[in-house]
A and B are shown apart, each in its own frame.
Chain A
Amino acid sequence: MVSTAFVGLARNQARVLGMPDMPMVQLQHPVGGTQLDSVLAKVDASLDELLSKLASPPISTVAAVSAVSATRSEWIEFDTSDEWGSLQTDFAARGWSDGMLMAPPTEMRVAAMVAGSGLPPEKIIGELAPKMGVATVERIAANAVMAGCRPEHMPILVAAVQIMSDPTFFLKNIQATTHPVSPLLIVGGPLAKTLNINSGSGAFGPGPWANGVIGRAIRLMLLNIGGGKPGEIDKATLGHPGKYTYCIAENEAASPWPSLRAERGFAADVSTVTMYGGEAPHNINDHESTTAGGLLTTITGSIAQIGQNSVECFAEMLVVLSPEHAATIAADGFTKDDVKRAIYEDARVPMSRFAQKNIERRLWRLLPLRYRDRPMDTMVAMVQRWEDVIVIVAGGEGKHSMYLPGYGSTRALTRPILSGDGSPWR
């Protein structure tokens, strides 16, 4: 049974899982969050079809995909005489476009981009869900060209594709959910400065730095290789601006604590990519506090909101502290883990503040050990474990920090940025 708005996604998943002929019955969307009587009426209206499809052979609609087309790039003839006009329309017609001007992936440009990786063009780096499109070096390069990247950005994109292909990252869910989540690419280490990736003022944008094109290349790969077509496969109800481009660097020089990559065991001279599935940044403004206690009151108070996914599941949360906020907190002897624990312990909302249906249908049902049969003044945590809070330092001068609520089961993963020979790229 499929709600009508999700038929494309259901067909895609059936095909990817090797069951393209899976019989389906459609129920008119929406099903969730509506009066139960109307939902059950939809079920009754579909009952004959449901019973019939359970007891009749499926109709085959399968078209085979050859191994060559899955790994070898396709080169297509275009009229490129009008690069800013008809060519852009042609790109959009093929579903390749994010709506902004794209550079044509010519043989020369793609070859230069491939060379930037130090890897052979047909090498398979990973498969991107939900389409499970094969990301060869050359296809990564084609998307990078279209996004406006430079060849030296390729090792970052290769590391990012490796992470997004890891089942632990749950890209399938990130690509398809109604939740506004997008992979945020966080660069750590000395390469951030070398490659002109902003970690300072306005790290989330805008600016002339490389953040924009690197993040855009990620999005184009999610669209073109992963098949995350907005509205059809990418079912985000509203999405967020970071789904166009979402890339920052950690401001390690301004951090009083070990960097994220150091926490994860990487050496000082090894630069890394971390991918985090997150919402848009939410601001935390505190211009007055001069102590860790004061600042953490504002930070935890800002984070304590009932409408975030991590309230009801084991999701992570990314907190991006400004250098000035981080310095104030660290000056009072707080470690990064102390900040994480404070957020877990103190960013809470009494259960009585939640809507009754959400208490019954979400908190009690999904986290029964924590909340079922508990009094209404039970404090509901924003994450389920303190270790699920990720803290980095970024940004420039000023008294604003940010937090990015996470999504479901995805886990932020970190990989080194490597040269073509497999050694860390320095």
Chain B
Amino acid sequence: MKLCSPEGNALPTTNMTLVDRPKSLEGLRIGLLDNTKPPVDKIMAHLEQRLRERIPGARPFYISKRIMTQPAGSAVMESLRQNVDVVINAIGD
């Protein structure tokens, strides 16, 4: 007997094309996006130090979301668009 599936698929999304990756990180502006979930601020500060040690001319750019449970918002995204070439974000607990 045929039964109705209770599952729902998502409407097709237009997949965004990720920007071409740089061949090298040298001299690039590297964004560090703090999602406010502890201890990500300390992780990002550590990464900033490591990036400066490892990548010649690297320019880390730190920015934080305002509220943990909400998306970063247009101001943060615009700032990233203007100030970074690549960005590191985090999810988890």
Contact = CB atoms under 8 A, between A and B. Distances in A.
A361 B68 CA distance: 13
Nearest to B86: A54
B77 interface: no
A77 B5 CA distance: 10
A106 B1 contact: yes
Interface in B1-44: 1-16, 18, 20-25, 30, 36-39, 42-43
A74 B10 contact: no
Contact of B88 (A44, A54, A139, A146): A54
A366 interface: yes
Given A54-B86, A65-B10, A29 B93 contact: yes
Interface residues on B, range: 35 or more
Interface in B49-93: 50, 54-55, 67-70, 86, 88-93
A133 B16 contact: no
A225 B69 contact: no
Interface string A33-72: 1001001100110010011001111100010111101110
A22 interface: yes
A6 B7 contact: no
A16 interface: yes
Interface residues on A, range: 35 or more
Interface stretch (A124-132, A292-300, A412-420): A124-132
Contacts of A133: 7-10
Given A6-B92, A107-B2, A43 B47 contact: yes
Nearest to B93: A32
Contacts of B13: 15-18
A75 B3 contact: yes
A3 to B, nearest CB: 3
Contacts of A40: 42-43, 46
A139 B8 contact: yes
Interface of B: 1-16, 18, 20-25, 30, 36-39, 42-43, 46-47, 50, 54-55, 67-70, 86, 88-93
Interface of A: 1-6, 9-10, 13, 15-22, 27, 29-33, 36, 39-40, 43-44, 47, 50-51, 54-58, 62, 64-67, 69-71, 73-78, 80, 94, 96, 104-107, 110, 127-128, 131-136, 138-139, 141-143, 145-146, 170, 173, 178, 220-221, 224-226, 235, 313, 361-362, 365-366, 408-409
Ranked nearest first, the 8 interchain pairs of A and B with the lowest CB-CB distance are: A133-B8, A3-B92, A225-B8, A408-B69, A6-B92, A224-B6, A142-B4, A74-B5
